[in-house]
Amino acid sequence: MDLTLNHGPDTRFPRPLKVALVGECMIEVRGGPDAAITQTFGGDTLNTAVYLARLNPRGAVAVDYMTAVGNDAFSAAMRQSWLDEGIGDAHVRVIEDALPGLYFIQTDPHGERRFLYWRGEAAARRMFEGAEAEAEAMLAALADYDYVYLSGITLAILLPEGRERLIHALHRARRAGTRIVFDNNYRPHLWPDPETARQAYRDLLHLSDLALVTWEDDASLFGYHDPDALFSVYAEAGVREVALKRGAASCLIQCPAGRFEVPAQTVAQVIDTTAAGDSFNAAYLACHLRGGDPQQAARWGHRLAAEVVQYRGALIPQAAMPSMDTSSLPFVEQV
């Protein structure tokens, strides 16, 4: 199958496009030490899955989440929340003696976040461990998807055996025609050392068709001094399309059509930057799946991220989802 990163619905598939997002969903708690707290669910790849499901026309794209959970009430509620958002859970492994991870969000007056994590024994870390049939089935199922999306956090949380098995499974999936989308999302505290992270990222980049990159993360991990250096390394790795996110600054895109710069949207008041990058990625990929070119995909990304940062928490209310410009898309069925 041709691995070219096409833009738009793939007419070779008579069924909906299938997208799997691989990662960890956690229990999210927000509030202050002396204030009431709010509990929901979140995680970088899960946030992207929710926004991707919301933005795609029903029946055109099937969004599944691939992870491991426990056999507890929080895990059951977590899975139900995915189903309520239209996200499939057919490839979720249940590990009897494990629980979901948990994180606490604190935000400063400028909307910047501080996270406190409890995830050392989280079920998702073991999703691809052992010879159990569930792990083998999940890895084999990756080749059944048109797109597989994962992040640097996905790589970081996995134990070494699971990470290696995932990389091998992605090789097999890509040979079968699956396209790989990678969000670099580097969190130093999740890795034993930077070199382990760098090697895992290099392995994944050689498999990636589309990279959605946060500049600060790659500059920190690889020591890039400017975007040109980053783009050169990604091109050498064979990544056909790179969208370089730079916070409130413009997004830079490198793709076969050239290099482009797309301005961000101005936000009067930032409340909480949680999931800004995750939502950008979801909108970028959603536009791509509906036929948009990279520049329009970046405009979608900025549009959604600008709305998300005006709400507390990772997931904004469904009613707050912004409308997107579909006037130039070849596939414009309304969501």
Q: Are 209 and 5 in contact (CB under 8 A)?
A: yes
- 278 catalytic, yes or no? yes
Q: What is the DSSP string of 44-87?
A: HHHHHHHHHHHHSPTTTEEEEEEEEE-SSHHHHHHHHHHHHTTE
Q: In angstroms, rounded to a whole number, what is the distance separating the alpha carbons of residues 148 and 298?
A: 20
DSSP-assigned letter for residue 250: -
Residues facing 149 on adjacent strands: 21, 181
| Both structure tokens of 177 | 């025609």
Q: Which residues contact 169 (CB under 8 A, 6 or more apart)?
A: 128, 139, 140, 142, 143
User: Which one is catalytic: 97, 226, 278, 325?
Assistant: 278
Q: Is the dihedral of CA 161, 163, 164, 169 positive or negative?
A: positive
| Both structure tokens of 260 | 């482009």
Amino acid identity of residue 266, one-letter, is T
CA atoms within 13 A on the CB side of 186: 24
| Both structure tokens of 41 | 């669910």
What are the catalytic residues? 278
